[in-house]
């Protein structure tokens, strides 16, 4: 299967801080990739660069940002526009051939048809996040970048979101998401990328990460912590 997303040697520096250093990976169509790591690891920076919202200092990302759907951590929506108006605006800006049809399809797909006339400012956090994801999907991109998509959601809303995302992947959309909730990576991702201090420390299946830390048993979160501690101990010597 050919890669729909290729990240090659991407680096980003904020003043003295190296936010990302030489990060490379690729993703196939329909693949779900979780980017995990501690706070300040560079997860949001990596997803923002993939989405074209942030310019990398070095390296290359394919495809162009227009071909990547992006749902930032904080929903990028106009509170004084309705759900449908938000979707239609971005459909037009994305030059979708039939914006109204795309809006109707997206409302149906995200089960927001009944809320289409509601001002976004009046929606619950869960529904706002669904609109946020719907905006990312309005142009039917082959790649979807989701930054902490379930952060503000309750368990039921999270479940519904992941069902929806899994459905997209099943239809061929490559999905890269960042999360603090390692269990989500274990449950929904086929691959996990571990970032720490801007460096990519691991790229493999969640099972491979578990296998690398046998003392963690089936607990991926514990495996991640042990993995990061082991790398930290090894770093001064290396």
Partner 1 sequence: MRWLLTKDLRILGRSRLLVALLVVYPVVIALLIGLALSRGPGRPRVAVVDETPPGETVQVGTERVEVHRYVQQLFDQLDAIEVPTREQAVAKVRSGGALAAVVIPPNIVTKASSGTEQGELELIYNGDALEQSLVQSQLSSALAEANLGFSKQIQDVAAQAIDQLLKGGNLSEIGAPADLVGLEQIPALLARVIAHQRPGPDRDALQRVATFADFAAQNLTLSKRVLASVGQPIKVRSTLLHGRRTPLDTFAVVVAVSISLMFISVLLAAGAIALEREEHALHRLLRGLVRVRVLLAEKCALAGGCGFVVALAMLAGVGAFVPLRWGRFPLWLAALALGAAAFAALGVAIGVLAREVRAASLLAFLLSLPLAFLALVPRGAVARGIYDSINVISFVFPYKAALQALDAAVNGSAPAIGGSLAHLAVLALAFSVLAGAGLARSR
Among 9, 14, 79, 170, binds partner 1 (CB under 8 A): 79
Exposure b/e, 40-52, CB count within 10 A at least 16 = b: ebbbbbbbbbbbb
Among 27, 44, 45, 48, binds partner 1 (CB under 8 A): 48
Smaller CB separation from partner 1, 85 or 219: 85
The C-alpha atoms of residue 120 and residue 131 are separated, in whole angstroms, by: 8
What minimum distance in Å lies between the beta carbon of 213 and partner 1?
36
Q: How many CB atoms lie within 10 A of CB 182?
A: 23
The C-alpha atoms of residue 41 and residue 228 are separated, in whole angstroms, by: 11
Specify the stretch interacting with partner 1 by CB under 8 A; choose among 68-76, 109-117, 180-188, 193-201. Answer: 68-76
Q: Is 127 in the site for partner 1 (CB under 8 A)?
A: no
The C-alpha atoms of residue 213 and residue 107 are separated, in whole angstroms, by: 43
> Measuring CA to CA, how many Å separate 4 from each of 86, 160, 210?
27, 26, 27
Q: How many CB atoms lie within 10 A of CB 14?
A: 11
Q: Is 81 in the site for partner 1 (CB under 8 A)?
A: yes
Q: Is 76 in the site for partner 1 (CB under 8 A)?
A: yes
Among 22, 28, 57, 85, binds partner 1 (CB under 8 A): 85
- For residue 144, count CB atoms less than 10 angstroms from its CB and return exposed for 0-12, middle for 13-18, buried for 19 or more: buried
The C-alpha atoms of residue 153 and residue 126 are separated, in whole angstroms, by: 5
The interface with partner 1 within residues 87-116 (CB under 8 A) comprises: 89-90, 92-94
Give the contact letters, 4-43, x = binds to partner 1 (CB under 8 A), - = no: ----------------------------------------
106 Cβ contact list (under 8 Å, min separation 6): 87, 112, 134, 137, 138
Q: Is 66 in the site for partner 1 (CB under 8 A)?
A: yes
Q: Is 64 in the site for partner 1 (CB under 8 A)?
A: yes
Among 17, 58, 60, 78, binds partner 1 (CB under 8 A): 78
Smaller CB separation from partner 1, 72 or 198: 72
What minimum distance in Å lies between the beta carbon of 95 and partner 1?
9
* Binding residues vs partner 1 (CB under 8 A): 48, 51-55, 64-66, 70, 72, 74-81, 85, 89-90, 92-94, 135
């Amino acid at each position: 299967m050919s890669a729909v997303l290729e990240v090659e040697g991407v680096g980003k520096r904020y003043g003295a801080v190296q936010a990302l250093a030489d990060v490379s990976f690729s993703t196939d169509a329909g693949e779900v990739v979780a980017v995990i790591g501690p706070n300040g690891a560079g997860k949001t920076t990596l997803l923002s660069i993939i989405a074209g919202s942030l310019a990398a200092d070095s390296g290359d990302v394919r495809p162009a940002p227009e071909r990547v759907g992006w749902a930032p951590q904080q929903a990028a929506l106009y509170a004084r526009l309705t759900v449908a108006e938000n979707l239609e605006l971005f459909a037009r800006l994305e030059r979708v051939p039939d914006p109204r049809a795309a809006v109707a399809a997206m409302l149906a797909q995200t089960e927001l048809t009944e809320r289409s006339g509601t001002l976004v400012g009046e929606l619950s956090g869960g529904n706002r996040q669904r609109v946020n994801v719907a905006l990312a999907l309005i142009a039917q991109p082959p790649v979807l970048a989701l930054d902490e998509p379930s952060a503000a959601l309750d368990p039921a809303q999270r479940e519904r979101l992941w069902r929806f995302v899994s459905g997209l992947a099943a239809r061929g959309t490559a999905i890269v998401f960042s999360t603090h909730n390692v269990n989500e990576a274990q449950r929904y991702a086929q691959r996990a990328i571990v970032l720490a201090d801007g460096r990519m420390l691991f790229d493999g299946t969640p099972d491979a990460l578990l296998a690398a830390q046998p003392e963690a048993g089936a607990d991926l979160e514990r495996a991640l912590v042990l993995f990061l501690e082991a790398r930290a101990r090894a770093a001064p010597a290396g």
